[in-house]
Structure 1
């Protein structure tokens, strides 16, 4: 047993599981804010990709990772505002709006990237965040690679989970968001500002999803590629369901998907006899299983995905 725990391959798997779970954890955390307020945020994929692109470009231009992070959050929030304009003010179908945002961002980021860097040129790179140095703590079996081998953005993401739990589950802000998501008409009767609350929720959703996208470009890889999020925004929707739209629940669900992705990456390097395509599809197959098995008992707000009434709401 100890030989497995001290095996560097197993240690690398644990570290990779945490690292690979962070982008989808942040996106799913953003989804919690939007969906608890009653807005179905299918546009998480586009928000992540927008943050991924903005984070890389501003880091590349400024040479400062902090500038890239700020840009990713601002751009993600603006995409959230765009979702709010159509889904809340114009009362458009929220699924259609989310898919349209995903397609719009995918095309826009690809166009702007080619505009900034000519086709055929060497792929531009930046220096990503480096893991923090915890000294001998990083050498502890199991706990070392699991807890003490990551960069500051990973620990910031976990801090945001705690902050979100306090805001959504232990404060009047969380009660307001839940009331707006469950019954907007009754919430208005109680004097709550439904439209403003939903706008703030979807913008917070965009900020967090944009931060998750930035994790891919300025923490995990140091580069940007077309469609770099590769469906992680949709996986975040499945994590929302599995985690029952609770900040703590989505941590466990994100780690499960992170472990699945780390497993398929490592299995590709081993002579398993399993076709490469079957390994690549593993995280997405797990997404389908979650949606099929847990969607009906996910505890969604009563008004999730429904447009606001045209009268009686403020």
Structure 2
């Protein structure tokens, strides 16, 4: 019986890890594309929060999960368009722009939520349910972990090889990486830089919006102010820890998600560590990660610079 319980607990931890990793994966893949193109987008937290609120508002109003998901992606893309206008068109400081977007998103979602609290509190909905993959879900242990997940989780996992193929096996991916290293190379070949940056930022922010939707529709089935709880910053740290490589970033994301899963099972695991410390552990780990990997050399040469070109 103890062995059975231990096995069930271990499966539960891994299932929770994949669920916790889903919004981080979706956002980190989009953010990786943006930063590899040379834009220091620090507005990930605000983008994810805005999208999460949009998903919640639409699902409460309509009861439709697809509509809520589309709304979140569109809001994420809209924030990306705002980021593009400020950083690419107006060439404002990218760090300040990202921080401003985070602050505006935090204040605006809090205001809208509180001013419409009666409407939102009356709305009930059921988020994404696990979808079992035929045959594969019946595999012992592995089937329960990987093949009884929610649809956005399957999408996030499928995007990993697709993102690698795009970045390293397509001409568009090569041009994206050149943008982050030396955009003048593209200009000398008559390739317009600014429109490509707009497209990359909007598309990447749309993926972050999808991650925000999952926070409401796949993790909590509700919205609370600051529901992102620093996840946007964890995405940025994951890119630094992963040395701006896809698989390095994904590894960091799963490490953070594993810590979150362990924290959520702290009482069951009977760990001799205060529960509050376990909740803070992913963020403590992110600070340690920044200190350890501060001198890594994989950062795109043109990342954060204002001379973007036309």
TM-score normalised by the chain length of structure 1: 0.92
Distance 1:181 1:122 in 2: 45
Matched position secondary structure for 1:118: helix
Matched position secondary structure for 1:24: helix
Q: Which residue of 2 aligns with 1:237?
A: 236
Q: Is 1:218 matched with 2:182? A: no
- In structure 2, relative to structure 1, the CA distance for the partners of 1:149 and 1:133 (3 Å cut) is closer
Q: Which residue of 2 aligns with 1:146?
A: 145
Superposition map of 1:51-62 within 5 A: 51-62=51-62
Distance 1:270 1:164 in 2: 36
Q: Which residue of 2 aligns with 1:11?
A: 11
Matched position secondary structure for 1:295: coil
- Cα distance per residue 1:40-66 (max 9 Å; x no partner): 011011111111111111122121111
Distance 1:133 1:167 in 2: 28
Q: Is 1:41 matched with 2:50? A: no
Superposition map of 1:179-198 within 5 A: 179-198=178-197
Q: Which residue of 2 aligns with 1:67?
A: 67
Tell which deviates more after alignment, 238-247 or 49-58: 238-247
User: Could you tell me how far 1:269 is from its partner in structure 2?
Assistant: 4.3
Matched position secondary structure for 2:285: helix
Q: Is 1:90 matched with 2:99? A: no
User: Could you tell me how far 1:20 is from its partner in structure 2?
Assistant: 0.5
Distance 2:63 2:4 in 1: 41
Structure 1 unaligned residues grouped into runs of 5+: none
User: Could you tell me how far 1:238 is from its partner in structure 2?
Assistant: 1.1
Q: Which residue of 2 aligns with 1:284?
A: 283
Q: RMSD between aligned alpha carbons?
A: 2.1
Is contact 1:39–1:94 with CA below 8 Å preserved after alignment?
A: yes
Distance 1:16 1:296 in 2: 33
Q: Which residue of 2 aligns with 1:108?
A: 108
Q: Which residue of 1 aligns with 2:77?
A: 77
Tell which deviates more after alignment, 198-207 or 185-194: 185-194
Q: Which residue of 2 aligns with 1:164?
A: 163
User: Could you tell me how far 1:174 is from its partner in structure 2?
Assistant: 0.7
Q: Following TM superposition, where does structure 1 have runs of at least 4 consecutive aligned residues deviating by more than 6 angstroms?
A: none
Distance 1:285 1:29 in 2: 23
- In structure 2, relative to structure 1, the CA distance for the partners of 1:64 and 1:3 (3 Å cut) is same
TM-score normalised by the chain length of structure 2: 0.93
Distance 1:123 1:289 in 2: 42
Matched position secondary structure for 2:91: coil
Is contact 1:52–1:215 with CA below 8 Å preserved after alignment?
A: yes
Distance 2:267 2:201 in 1: 38
Is contact 1:14–1:145 with CA below 8 Å preserved after alignment?
A: no
Distance 2:242 2:253 in 1: 9
